[in-house]
Amino acid sequence: MDKDTALIHILNSKGVSTLLGGKLPVSVITDNEYIPPLTSEALVTDRNVDHSLSSLDHCISSSLGGEVKTVILVGPEGSGKTTALQKLVVDWAKGEHLQNFSYVFYFRLREMNFLEGMLSLETFIQHHQSHVPPQAVPLLLQKPEDALFLFDDLDQYRHSLDPSVHSVCSDPSQAASVPCLIASLLHGSLLKGAAFVVATRPAARLDFLSGISVEVLGLLKPQREAYFNRFFTDQSDANKALMHMERTLGFYDFCISPRFCWTVCSIYKSLMDAGRKLPETLSQLYVDIMVYLIQSLSLSKDCNRDLVLALGRMASHCCFDQHRSCTKEEMESFGFQQFLSSVGVFLQIDGDIEQNTCLFSFHSQLMLEFILALCFFLDKSSSEGVEKVMEKHKCHTNFFDLFLSSLSEPIQRRPLETLLGELNSDQIMNFRCWFKSSSEAALKGYYKDMHYRCFHLLYQAQNESLVKDIITSSAQMGISYDDLSLLNCVTLNYVITCLGEMKQLNLYRTRNFTEEKAQVLGPTMSLSHKIILSDSSLNPGAVPHLALALSRGITKELDLSHTNLGDEKFSILCVALRDSKLLKLNVLACSLTSCEDLVPVLTSATSQLGVLNMMFNPIGDVGFMKLCKALHSPHCKLQELWLRSCQLTAASMEAFSSALCCGQSELRKVDLTGNTISDNGVETLSKSLKHPLCRLQSLILYDNELTGACCPHLKEALMSEHCSLSELDLSLNDLNQEGALLLCQGLSRPGCPIERLRLTRCELTLSVFKELGSVLRSGTSQLKSLMVGINEVGDKGVKISMGCCLTPKLVEMTHLTDACVEDVCAAIRASKTLKSLEMRNNSLTDASVPPLVKVMKDSAIMQEMNLQYNNFSEDVFDTLEGCHKIRY
């Protein structure tokens, strides 16, 4: 096969470059403007393929260099498949690639839709590859492994190529239909051993093809930069155009399409040459494109209108009847009789326009949907309701409503009205009413996808007053926006910047919070009073943008729990926290091992941080002691410190005690749950509790491996007139009877400030309960809440405790039976303050239900009783259901 002849043949390909159709592949190749599209490595399914090669050209060459016989390129419209295939022919003909093949044939299947008759493979090749000399075909048939067939536009071929619907042939001289020949080739029964590259859009059925599938991505950001630099001769123009596109359009998937990049560059250049403003949204871009195309025809306003309405009828036909292309007869039925010679600026034309076999199609789905939207407002004869139209388009379009949103704004539709006449004002008003009512309804709900859609519609409208009108105080703006796409970041940011502030920005479970997303959301984060990023994955590049937003913004509360932040990223954040307005910081379970970077934050004269949650971070004693140094600073505003399960021991309690007594610390609440503080640590802390400068009011020592040996020291602290503790939690510690009785002595001191005491699962005995009862009956105790659940004292303990009319809760006492119910009811009737009672996980039976239901219904004070996990049968469920105050 003569390579020079093949090269000339492919470089003489016919066609017309158009704004929407892109530059001809042959022109791209000969003008040295070809940029290889990228592929998705994840979809390269053959294990023998080098996955490090992401260029489409390399991917194909690498695949075909081995045992692979069929490569299937799958990519959206305009992603560069056709240009890549033609470039393969050129490179082969020049001796640069694929030299293991002696024959390379390129076929566009959409050009064969109307090819009829019976042909042999020999005739088929010679008919469609006229540059192939007749003597080459017999040689090909003798050695088919030397041949490579490139089949383009599989999705646009109207006939099935599934071999199961054909009587596949194996004889090259046997006459068969063209679909049968192609199906036999791809099946491998005809010309066995030949290689194939098939290009198609994702919609095509490919289950009959065996081979490796490669997803064609197109041009990512670096490739787009190279594309713009080649398109514009002036470097400053290239930079301006690229920066503008990335800012306004770069978050759309179709920006990876080389054809779309051609369209954007072309329209940008015309606008820049005319000194006009570049479009701010996708809708504005298509308004500019439409204006450019209409003006290029130089028709009258009436003709412009008739042409666009005909395009609208064609778009409707293609959209709802699922037709990719239309025949000449169909085009005439749409009203194109006088415009067939002009439609080339809008449509792709396959075949001779004078022939009935000629086919017409839209270059892109986007243009089809824009024309649908434009004609909805342009057609004054239509009276179809907006809601009905929206429902009809829902499954067939993605941007129809977005284009409507833009065109409903006077300033955005004005350039088109200059060329087409005024749009239908009644339909525009109907759409705006629908938009407002549907958006308000969506924003009151909890479906984030509907929120996103509303934001996208508002973004396309570009009307700040419309945003403020639709997003009222009833909108659920605190809804979780997990797994944010870049597009959703852009639209959300637009809405919030229009509103001026946001109560709560909920980014819970944002799995891939990238630098790009954080940069886009920077203004929104600055305007948010509370930011929730819990259970999210923050890329390192995202942290500086979050930090900048905190230092410049109004954020008072930040939740980064379970983000696996780590010390390095936390260090970057801490620099910004010094100058932020942050009052609360939650870094629970963030893999932090050091507190060193927090010290400058807490000691900064401008820091307002008052609540710090560092639970489940292994900071250890060394980290905590560094934190304690900050408590000595007069600038430290910390009032609450949560240190649950931070690997602390008694070794760091001396430093903590010193900080509490220094006279500067404003700490009011400390949670040390789950640390090995031990009795020695409590002894040290008890000394500070007696100090006149200690202001601590709440101390949580839950599960600290304490015994009764710590109780004498706590008793001394409670007996001190300087003690300010109002809350003490000693739950899940084996205090035993002797230790607990010592605590009771401290509680009995007149003036003891304890109001809330928790002794859950502390191995308390009836003697302790009796002593607690005495304390409560003394009349001098400040206790308002006593939790003594899961201590095995049974019904007698209930009688003692309930007799004290305790408020507000008696929680989960175990081993309770029906025998305690009389005492419980008596206590409820006698109490003037008891509001809530929990009796979960006990052995109450159906016999207890009637008196408990009655006393709850009769009590005006009691609000809730929890009876879950008792021994009730279904027979009493209706009775329990009759009292809304009871949970069961």
- pLDDT tens for residues 254-301? 999 999 999 999 999 999 999 999 999 999 999 999 999 999 999 999
pTM, rounded to two decimals = 0.84
Beta-strand runs (E) in 706-794: 727-729, 756-758, 785-787
Determine the average pLDDT of the residues in 173-188.
Answer: 92
CA distances from 374 to 333, 434, 501 (A): 20, 17, 34
Amino acid letter, residue 143: K
Higher pLDDT, 842 or 129: 842
Burial call 596-614: b when 16+ CB within 10 Å, e when fewer? ebbbebbbbeebebbbbbb
Cα–Cα dist 609/639, whole Å: 9
Residues with Cβ within 8 Å of 381's Cβ and at least 6 positions away in sequence, in order, are: none
- pLDDT tens digits for 546-576? 999 999 999 999 999 999 899 999 999 999 9
- pLDDT tens digits for 670-720? 999 999 999 999 999 999 999 999 999 999 999 999 999 999 999 999 999
pLDDT-derived band at 793, boundaries 50, 70, 90: low
User: Which two tokens mark 199?
Assistant: 């290009």
How confident is the model at residue 816, as a pLDDT? 81
User: Which two tokens mark 471?
Assistant: 């997003």
Do 359 and 350 form a contact (C-beta atoms < 8 A)?
A: yes
Q: What is the mean pLDDT of the chain?
A: 89
How confident is the model at residue 813, as a pLDDT? 58
User: Which two tokens mark 860?
Assistant: 């005006």
Please determine, for residue 53, whether its predicted confidence score (pLDDT) is greater than 60: no
pLDDT-derived band at 239, boundaries 50, 70, 90: very high
Please determine, for residue 44, whether its predicted confidence score (pLDDT) is greater than 50: no
How confident is the model at residue 621, as a pLDDT? 97
pLDDT-derived band at 68, boundaries 50, 70, 90: confident
Residues with Cβ within 8 Å of 309's Cβ and at least 6 positions away in sequence, in order, are: 335, 375, 378, 379
Do 617 and 644 form a contact (C-beta atoms < 8 A)?
A: no
Determine the average pLDDT of the residues in 396-420.
Answer: 96
Do 380 and 434 form a contact (C-beta atoms < 8 A)?
A: no
Do 506 and 534 form a contact (C-beta atoms < 8 A)?
A: no
pLDDT-derived band at 322, boundaries 50, 70, 90: confident
Q: Residue 886 belongs to what H/E stretch?
A: strand 886-887
How confident is the model at residue 17, as a pLDDT? 80
CA dihedral (392, 395, 398, 404) in degrees, to 10, reads: 10
Task: Write phi, then psi, for 714 (nearest 5 degrees).
Answer: -65, -35
User: Which two tokens mark 661?
Assistant: 């007594």
How confident is the model at residue 1, as a pLDDT? 62
